[in-house]
Each structure stands twice: as structure tokens, then as C-alpha cells.
Chain A
Amino acid sequence: MTVLLKLSGVDKFYGPVNKGVHAVQNINMDVMKGEIIALLGSSGCGKTSTLRMIAGFEETSRGTITLAGREVQALPPVRRNVAMAFEGYSLYPTVTVGENIAFALKAARLPTAEVEAKVREVTEMLEITDILDRYPTSVSGGQQQRASLARALIRDADLHLLDEPMGQLEPQLRTLLRGRIKHYIKERGLTAILVTHDQTEANALADRIAVMEGGVLQQFATPQTIKEAPANLFTGTFVGEPPMNVFAAEASDRDGQLQLDLGDGLHLTYAADAFAPDVRATLLARKQIMLGVRPYAVHRDTHGARAQVIANQWLGDQSHIAATFAQGTIVLVEHDRADVAVGDAIHVRLAPEDLHVFDKDTGTALSHGAQMA
């Protein structure tokens, strides 16, 4: 695996350097060849600015961007050899969808037969073969978005940048197309960076996710790692649907057992050896902590802590149960239909290996399960 794209100390200021709005702060990131990377965050987190700096539409205020062995931050977009799908589709309105998709290939003077074969392949994958002769304004938003995606994916570029590529897709197609696009990218060994605010999309497509907030890269890791070991409270609650349950807790030593007081008279008690010694020591030293547990990791158990059901929603393949717990609400995900009714008392168990502990003030992760973060 070779590093294809390297961001070193990349900053973006809107306005004068060091004085203007510091939209992207000291990003360092290596992207391997053949990887799919998601830049994930809410609006204004700096993800789009970062993408646009890589594409060259935005000046890099500080730092270097190395792509395929060349420093590109000072190059104009056309000389960086990147393909991009824009959030606003940006299809050329005066030519047909098909001509839009083939545009870059024709400009590169590829033989017509080859262009046609490539167009057919990518448009069959995205199910837009029937609209190739239509003009962009006469097709739906979802179709325009797919055409824009096709125009980017068909190109032979060092790097493919996809800005919110699937936001407008028809819900019935979304999951299927995610699978096909992932397969398409992987099969050809393309390297792609997608920007999205939708954690579901990032999880579905990306090999690694870069979570951004406030212009700062919060965590850059595989979906699995982000799920199991979120770097901080922000990452933990932003990634994952339903979101992670979070409670304020106070840790104390009760006759050798570790007790977590969640308020409202609710205590969780764990055996002395439930946590590794260093985790246990940290918890007792900090006392006031934030406790996180993923909804799928909350299990019903007759010996668990009491909670009262306020909603049990069956979605066909999952049940989402919400129950009043401590001073807030706890959410459980079960994969079968749960036979509990609103108002029922249930008992939930939070296993030590499923607990994420965060610093109360900074939100930095202290431990995941039995291990230190």
C-alpha cells in the first residue's frame, strides 16, 4: 500500500491568515491508494473546505498537499488530475446527460467505441441508461445526482472526490447503489474521498472515516474503530444510529466493588475485577465521568437495572426501545420484535466491556470496555 494523498499541516483561513475565520485547523492525513475515505461532519465543520482544497477550488492557506508524489497545493484544479462530483450536480445544461458523462473522455480523445462502452457500464450501474438522451433540467434531482456521480466515476484520475454524492438519491435505491458504487470503486482500484454529513453513508462506503468538527479532525479511523473506540464524546455520539446513550455518572469504591452512581437513586455495581486495574484506578480518581453505551450493547436482563419503557418501535427488521433510565432516556436496539409495551418495566444490563468512559469536561475518551483508551 502506498500513500497516494498526504495532507500535512493544512490550514484554511477565510480572510487573512491567522486573523480570518480558521475553518480548517492543522489537518494531517494519509490516504492510501485504493482506499475510500469519508470526511464526515455537520455543516460548517470544515469538511467541504478540506475537499475543495484538495480539488484546488479553494486556496490552501498553509501546509502541503501531496498527491501521487507531487506537491499540488499551488496547482490549478485542472493540473491535479482529480475527478469531482459536485453537491449541486453542476451538469452542463446545454448538452444531454450522456454527453455530460462522456465529456471528459471525449476531451481526452478516447476512441468513440471505448467511450461508449465505459458510459454504458457506469450508467447501467447507476440505472440511468434510459435518460442519456435527455437534458439535465428535464430529469429528477436524484437522476441528476446519479449523472453527476457517473461523470466523476467514469474518469481515469488519481483521485475521485465526491461531495455529498448520495443525498438526493431515491431511498429505495440508496442501499443498493451504495453497494454497487463501492464494488465499482474497489474493482478498479480507484481512490475516493467523499464528503458527507450522513454517518450512515460514511459507514456504508468508507474504509476509513475522518470525523471533523469545528475545523478540527476529531478521529481518523476505520468505522469499526470509531464504533468500538471513539476518540471522544463528539465522535461517539455523532457516529452510530441510533446514537450512543450518554449518562453523567459518579464512580466510587463500595467494599471493593466499583459503583457508578447515575443519579435518581440508580447505581450500577461491578465486581472488583470487571475492569482492568488501570481503568478502575482512573475511574476512581476522576470520580465525575461521562458514561456512554451503544444502543445495540444494552441488553435486557432480569438482573439488570430497572427502566420503564416509553416507546417500543418495530421497524420491520429492528426494534427500537426507549425507556426512562436514571435521569434520562436509554435506547436499546434489538434485531427481533420485542414483546414489551409502553409502561412496562424492563431490566437492562450494561456490561463492563460495552462501557465507554469520557472525561466530563473535555469529552476525551478515557476507556473503552475494560481497556484504557
Chain B
Amino acid sequence: MTLALEKIVKAFKKDVVLDGVSLSVGRGETLVLFGPSGAGKTVLLRLIAGVIEPDAGTIMIKGRDMEGVEPEDRGIGMAFQNFALFPHMDATENIAAPLTARNMNKTAITETVGKIARMLKIDHVLHHKPKELSNGQKQRTALARALAGEPDILLLDDPLRNVDAKLRFEMRLELPRLLKDQNATVIYVTQDYKEAMALGDRIAVMNARGIEQTGTPEEIYLTPANIEIARLFGDPVINLLDVSPVQVEGGVFITLSGVPVNIDAGYSDMVGRDCIIGIRPEAIRFVEEGSAEAIPLTIEAETPLNEKTVTLGLTQNGREIMVSRPAGTPGPSQGTGYIVIDANHIHLFDRATGKRIVPVKTQAAGSQGVAP
């Protein structure tokens, strides 16, 4: 483990921000800390960087306890959300900051800065002061500064937050390669689930209670631990409907608009219990009227969304359902549509706890329980 956090506690006055957070990140791994603002993600980064001290718990970097170790001695690079460039220094001096700290000679500095600047396509603005740089250039300069010292651990605090959509997309595609080339261990903080899924080898989902789930993007998206996490990933947001599964001959069913939908038989333990069903908008398909198990839907509005078409519809009981399909594929834009639900992509949550119900494997033996 390059980085290991053990039961970190941090409070500001009476406000407990982190209450026993543990986390470990392996060498060369990119871990995304994802969560809404106020979850303490930035505080966690600052603790690792050493600019603030934890109230309790240990931070180990490469097996060494960081207690009492100054930020400059931790071998860390960090890019800040607001860039935090030195306003009185030009881009070169900014990027060179980790190099001057090591008393590197001038030619070596120029060479290293030039190399990084070319990689990040800012070599033409190296003599500009931060205020003469565009937002995108500032962001790249901040990134270059974090990378220049070839740190063991790279902390990126929502670095794409303050750049425009186009640049954000471009950097999202570019960053993974850049980070792999550095071979650094990366902790990346973001509030954008797409960034989290695109960049993370693993994602740690954090909220005010701490880290709620850690896993690969697939695990988080396909098996969210609870309703809250299911809602945080995916756009449009997952459809959530109150249901109570019933056992009918042939399997376990839920009822939508009077139409029974067959769900995994492994959910049989939940029969008669209050549940919430989560259906991703892309797991719903429009079909022809009269198709088997088709659920009628009154179409309210159609809103295109990045190569998808999102349809907002009402069930017969007036419940809202969003359906997402690839742009250009057929679907009704008004009147009544008919949908079928892909039963393999249904999540069942316990209405009382919000936890996801893991279906019991019907073939193999296994105990029913909630996701970790």
C-alpha cells in the first residue's frame, strides 16, 4: 500500500467532518473520492497533504507514519480546485516550484518544465502570469506544477471543476494516460459521477457519514450499496418506485401500472415487504402497443441529452418514470407509449433502511443479506 488511512477523525470546533475514515490506495492506482460537497473529501486530501492534522487516526505513506511530518517532506503533489497558482510568478516559476525546492540547477529546471509544459500543451504561455492565462491554461499549469516533482502520491482536488464543459471532456479523456505515465498513486476528488467512473480504478463514495461504498466503477454502478449511491450515479437519475413484491406461481412479481413484472426469484424473501425498486432509465425500452408485459406510459416531455433521448412519462397511477434511449432510435414523443423493463437491471432496496437487497442465488446456496 502506498497510502493507508486508519480511522481518521477530524473535527472543526464542534463540527465532526470525518469520523473514523479508513482508506488504502495501492501503488499506481487511481482512487476517486466521490461525493456531494460537505462530505469532507477536501479535508481528507488536506490531511494527507499534511497542511492540517487529524484529531485521531494514522496516515501511512509508503509504510511510514506521517504524524509530525511536514507537508514538504511527504513526497506529495497536489492540484487545487481553485488552482492556487502563485499570482506573482509566471507559469514557469509556478511549475518549477517543486524543483527549486530541491535546489535543482537552472538548466535542469528549464528542461523539466519545458517537457511537462509540452505534454500539457502550455509551452507557449510559460512566460505568462496567472492572470494572463485562460481558465484552461491555469488548470493545466496547476496540474503541471503538481506533476513536476514526480511525487509518489498525487492529490487532485476537483481539478476540472472550474473549466468549461468542452475542456472538461477533453481533460477527462487525456488525464488517465497522463496519470499512468507518471506511475503515481492518485487520489482524485470530484462531484461529477462521469469523471469518477471515467478516471477511477476504484471509487470511494463519501457522504456526511463517511465512506459508504468502495469499489470499481462497475461495482458502484451495477450494485450500489444503497438508494443514495444509486441516485448519485447516472444521468438521468435512477427511477425509484415504492413497490411490494408478491409471490405468484412462476416467480416473484412487482406491479407497475397494473402490469406484473417478473423479477429475480432470489428476491422471494422480500415478498410482502415494503421495498423501493430502482430501474435505470436505460434499462427501460419502448415497445409496440400490445406487446407482452408492456406497461402503458403517458408521455409528458421528451428531452434530448448528449446522444440520448430522455422521455418523461407518467404511469397510470401518476408515478413519474424516465426512459433513456440512444438518440435516433424510435420512441413516442407524445401520447401514450409502451415500455418493458429489463428485469436483469432492477435493483430492490429496503424502504426502511435504504440498503440494496442482494438477491439470493437461486441455484447455489447463499444467504440473503444486504450489500456491504
Contact = CB atoms under 8 A, between A and B. Distances in A.
Contacts of A69: none
A223 B328 CA distance: 13
B120 interface: no
B237 A311 contact: no
A113 interface: no
Given A176-B312, A182-B301, A333-B307, A314 B320 contact: no
Nearest to A202: B304
A173 B173 CA distance: 26
Contact of A172 (B166, B192, B237): B237
A287 to B, nearest CB: 28
Interface residues of B, number: 48
A335 B326 contact: yes
Given A172-B231, A316-B233, A296 B324 contact: no
Contacts of B302: 179, 182
A316 B221 contact: yes
A182 B310 CA distance: 12
Interface in A157-179: 171-176, 178-179
A317 B172 contact: no
A311 B176 contact: yes
Interface string A35-67: 000000010000000000000000000000000
A176 B320 contact: yes
A345 interface: no
A333 B282 CA distance: 15
Interface string B29-66: 00000000000000000000000000000000000000
Contacts of B231: 172
A318 B308 contact: yes
B303 interface: yes
Interface residues of A, number: 40
A353 B72 CA distance: 57
A241 B221 contact: no
B104 interface: no
A197 B2 CA distance: 42
B288 interface: no
A183 interface: yes
Given A310-B177, A329-B173, A342-B176, A175 B310 contact: yes
The winner among A171, A180, A204, A316 for most chain B CB atoms within 10 A is: A316
A42 B218 CA distance: 35
Interface in A98-148: none
A304 interface: no
B232 interface: yes
B327 interface: yes
A204 B303 contact: yes
A218 to B, nearest CB: 16
The winner among A295, A315, A318 for most chain B CB atoms within 10 A is: A315
Contacts of B180: 342
Given A243-B169, A295-B307, A316 B322 contact: no
B196 to A, nearest CB: 10
A175 B237 contact: yes
B67 interface: no
Contacts of B281: 317
A7 interface: no
Given A241-B306, A313-B172, A314-B217, A175 B322 contact: yes
Given A182-B301, A316-B221, A331-B173, A296 B307 contact: yes
Interface in A168-202: 171-176, 178-180, 182-183, 186, 198-200
The winner among B173, B237, B322 for most chain A CB atoms within 10 A is: B173
Given A204-B305, A243-B166, A318-B307, A176 B236 contact: yes
Contact of A223 (B172, B300, B304): B304
A242 B217 contact: no
Contacts of A242: 169, 306
Contacts of B324: 317
A336 B218 CA distance: 13
Nearest to A294: B307
B161 to A, nearest CB: 13
A169 B299 CA distance: 23
Given A172-B231, A342-B177, A316 B197 contact: yes
A203 B302 CA distance: 10
A243 B305 CA distance: 13
Given A176-B236, A183-B300, A243-B166, A200 B306 contact: yes
Given A175-B236, A317-B234, A180 B169 contact: no
B312 A42 contact: no
Given A296-B327, A342-B177, 15 more contacts: A172-B237, A175-B235, A175-B236, A175-B303, A176-B236, A176-B320, A179-B312, A180-B301, A203-B305, A204-B304, A241-B165, A315-B197, A316-B193, A316-B197, A316-B217
Interface of B: 164-166, 169, 172-174, 176-177, 180, 191-194, 197-199, 217-218, 221, 231-237, 280-282, 300-308, 310-312, 320, 322, 324, 326-328
The 7 closest A-B pairs by CB, nearest first: A179-B312, A313-B198, A204-B303, A175-B236, A182-B301, A183-B301, A317-B282
5 contacts: A175-B235, A180-B301, A242-B306, A310-B173, A316-B221
